[in-house]
Amino acid sequence: MRAFITKVFLTEPRLRGAGYRYGGLAFILALLILNALLCPHLPPSYPGGRWFPLIVPLMLLLNHLAFQFRWSQLVTVFLRVIAYAWLIFGMVYILSVVFTRW
């Protein structure tokens, strides 16, 4: 169990090219900004709520930051815990929206 926790939270990321890391970061940030600009204009009756479109871009951003860049060990653990927590929250929220609309 300890090896699993160490592998998940402390392994160094395999660094890919800078184009992939920073290009992906720019794309995710553009997607997040676009959705943030779109959300206030959605009706309150939008399925999942007005802020529903921000869940997936935040998942992508947190996972990209946690697993594609080198940080100090404390920041790495913190980012990965937040990324996994947001992933679990987002999946539960998305599935609850999908299954309560049927």
pTM confidence score? 0.84
Q: Can you give the residue ranges of every domain in the chain?
A: 2-100
DSSP, collapsed to helix, strand or coil, labels residue 50 as coil
Residue 6: band (very low, low, confident or very high) from pLDDT cuts 50, 70, 90: confident
**Is residue 29 predicted with pLDDT exceeding 70?**
yes
- Tens of pLDDT, residue by residue over 40-87, are 888 888 888 888 899 999 999 999 999 999 889 899 999 999 999 999
CA-nearest of 2, 4, 3 to 84 is 4
pLDDT of residue 74: 92
Looking at residue 16, its pLDDT comes to 77
CA distance 93 to 79: 21
Rg of the chain on CA atoms, in Å: 16
